[in-house]
Amino acid sequence: MSDHATTLSPARRLALDILLDVGRRDAFARDVLNANTSLKNLDERDAGLTRRLVLGVTATSGCLDDFLQQCSDPKTRFSPRVRCALRIALFELLYLDAPANVAVSQGVELARSQSRGAAGLANAVLHRAASNRSSFREAEGVDPVHARIVSLARTSGTPVWLARIIEDSLGQDAARDVFASELTPAPVTFHLNPLTGDCAQGDGVGKGSLPGCIEPVDSAAYIRSGALGAYKAVASDASAQLIATSATRPGSCLEIGSGRGTKTFIMACQAYRAGWNRDHVAVDLYQEKCHMNAARLIDAGLPPARFAHGDARDLDAVLNEIDGETGAHVMFDTVLLDAPCSGTGTMRRHPEIPWRLAKQDIVRELPALQFDLLCAAASRVASAGELYYATCSIIYDENMAVVQRFLFSPLGSQFTLAPVSSSDIFDLPAFAQASTTIRDSENEIGCYASHPAPGKPDGHFCARLVRA
């Protein structure tokens, strides 16, 4: 094959530029994609290919490197730029089932664009890859004891250790849904501000079972309409909206891990729909996030919240000023801990997650932090009050294991688990249907645990703990 005759396609060239930029700036691929001004110079099909390559290569980078290693001489060293070019071609071969001649010739040109001398090596490696793609996916040559999980990991672009933990956490059937969804787009849903946005429901927008939750027929057009900028809505996964809704109760609420405030916003909206008065205190480690959250509530015309920032493991220090005003430890009717977690329920939206996580994070460090935060959160739940523990993880160690450990602790022994689907708000007729949706993903002890599947919402977890 004469590779010199091939012209490099603009979509692939731009994908490589963006991926190199992501690497240089240690940035998130989606952020760099969204900020890239050259994308709009491509026609829709090419722009779509660029997006797919950037997000797909990011999501599967470790598998692509394993494949590259298998297809090259062990002594070969690839410069980061050439490796990045080859990853694109390998992604096309492995995950887009691209015709071999296209993926190879374009990959050679991508490599040549980074180093003239790399074309010959790229040609040899990519031809080998084109012939070996099925055997790599099917884990041929891997010890038969491990071949099944290695094949699942490779076909979904997941690290093998993580694929194992996901399967141990969810069981084989649900894990298969997760793997099948990894390289598919997540549904795009929004939560409407009832003060300004509910009118948009008539505009070709599909209404889900949850009041305020919409999945537009054309989400890009909905975003272009300016609804988000005008605070008529926030983007939020449907499962996350169900959790924020279940934790919406009348009275005082402490939200820990409030971040930029998507759940703060949704809870304020749902309280308005329910006709409930609430006092909301939002805590996050970062002051900047608290500022963004505060500004959005004001701009949206929703009731303001009170903010405090700092490490919530030392909650007394964080709430010191608020306690000082009453002269006592303030206790809350509801405490929502939206805990920092692995984000494994949202990997479709955040392609960096699988290859940036370490096993230690999931099995040790995050569960330890989550347990400490849960104990701190529990210390502020009023008598007969409710504590909601939420994550966007699908991993047992971060979810049920943390809750079980808490329930066996001295403070935890004052709490009992209750079904998320029977939270107060679901007694209201408008919310009754959403209660059924929650029940569909509740486990036998009433904890909500959704997992991603193609075309379905993300994986989220929520336990409802009632103080005796």
Number of residues that bind ligand SAM (CB under 6 A): 18
d(C-alpha 83, C-alpha 94), whole Å: 16
Q: Compute the least distance from the CB of residue 42 to ligand SAM, in Å.
A: 32
Residue 260 engages ligand SAM in binding (rule: CB under 6 A) = yes
Task: Name residues contacting ligand SAM, limited to 405-444 (CB under 6 A).
Answer: none
Q: What is the CA radius of gyration of the chain?
A: 24
Binding to ligand SAM in span 334-363, by CB under 6 A: 338, 340
**E strand or H helix that includes residue 437:** helix 432-440
392 is a catalytic site residue: yes
Question: Closest Cα to residue 168, out of 402, 307, 332, 363?
Answer: 363
Beta bridge partners of 309: 284
Which range binds ligand SAM by CB under 6 A, 177-185, 255-263, 354-362, 445-453? 255-263
CA atoms of 82 and 119, how far apart (whole Å): 9
Window contacting ligand SAM (CB under 6 A); options: 72-80, 122-130, 251-259, 440-448: 251-259
Is 257 among the residues that bind ligand SAM (CB under 6 A)? Answer: yes
Tell me if residue 243 falls in helix, strand or coil. helix
Stretch that binds ligand SAM, among 2-10, 170-178, 258-266, 327-335 (CB under 6 A): 258-266
Which residue stretch of 146-154, 305-313, 326-334, 459-467 sits at the interface with ligand SAM (rule: CB under 6 A)? Answer: 305-313
3-state secondary structure of 258: coil
Q: Give which of 290, 375, 295 is closest to 335, Cα–Cα.
A: 375
Give the footprint of ligand SAM on residues 310-329 (CB under 6 A): 311-313
Instruction: Show the CA angle centred on residue 122, arms to residues 120 and 126, nearest 5°.
Output: 125
Cβ–Cβ under 8 Å, residues 245 and 427? no
Q: Is 452 a residue that touches ligand SAM (CB under 6 A)?
A: no
The reply on whether position 284 binds ligand SAM by CB under 6 A is: yes
Site map (CB under 6 A) of ligand SAM, residues 58-97, x = contact: ----------------------------------------
How far apart are CB 315 and ligand SAM at their closest, in Å?
Answer: 9
Q: Please report how close the Cβ of residue 249 comes to ligand SAM at its closest, in angstroms.
A: 17
**CA-CA distance, 205 to 219, in Å (whole number)?**
9
Among 245, 248, 262, 399, binds ligand SAM (CB under 6 A): 262
Annotation-wise, does 316 bind a ligand? no
**311 labelled binding-site residue:** yes
Determine which one of 290, 341, 392, 462 is catalytic.
Answer: 392
243 is a contact residue toward ligand SAM (CB under 6 A)? no
- 284 labelled ligand-binding: yes
**Helix/strand/coil for 386:** strand
Under rule CB under 6 A, residue 167 binds ligand SAM: no
Which alpha helices (DSSP H) does 60-159 contain, by range? Answer: 61-70, 80-95, 100-114, 119-137, 144-156
Question: CB within 8 A of 103, min separation 6: which ones?
Answer: 89, 92, 93, 126, 130
237 binds ligand SAM (CB under 6 A): no
CA angle, 406 then 453 then 47, to 5°: 120
**Site of tokens 């960096």:** 352
Binding residues for S-adenosyl-L-methionine: 284, 311, 338
Catalytically active residues are 392
Binding residues: 284, 311, 338
The binding site for ligand SAM (CB under 6 A) comprises 256-263, 283-286, 289, 311-313, 338, 340
